[in-house]
Amino acid sequence: MKTHNKSLMFSLVTVFTLIGCTTIPEKAPEQVQAAVKTNDYPTRDRVEYVLNCVAQHGGLTFITQYACGCKIDNIAGKLSFADYEAARTFSMLKSTPGEAGGVFRDPQQSKDLRKQLKEAEAYAEKQCFVK
């Protein structure tokens, strides 16, 4: 039995060594930039988005969890976190009445970012089959 275990261990070490020695093609600078842009969302904000999305779509199931996770990943591919955060802030506060709300609703930056967020969310819903 000991010989069999040694043989199995040797086989596993050989396989892991071979796997570790494989070369990974280098990414083009554009791919690196896209990866950095997509991954600049803090985990806390991704989780918050997924939990809110799941709640809006009927509760926690594998399908809603997957679809909502997919959705935030696609949004992250379209907007940097700074733009996403600003767009969310403008969207939440635009309904503030009077002059105080005008600061969030009237500037061109607010309109542009809210439009970008809406387009990114629509794109993400199509990609992820969120119902």
Q: What is the tens place of the pLDDT at every residue in 108-127?
A: 999 999 999 999 999 999 99
For 78-110, how does the pLDDT look when each residue is reduced to its tens digit (9 = 90+)?
A: 999 999 999 999 999 988 888 888 888 888 999
Token readout for 24 is 């990974």
Domain ranges of the chain: 40-131
d(CA 92, CA 61): 27
| DSSP annotation string for 37-72 | HHTTS-HHHHHHHHHHHHHHTTS--HHHHHHHHHHH
Identify the pLDDT of residue 15.
Answer: 37
Identify the pLDDT of residue 116.
Answer: 97
The backbone region for 129, taken as left when phi is positive above 0, alpha when psi lies in -120 to 50, beta otherwise, is left
pTM over 0.85: no
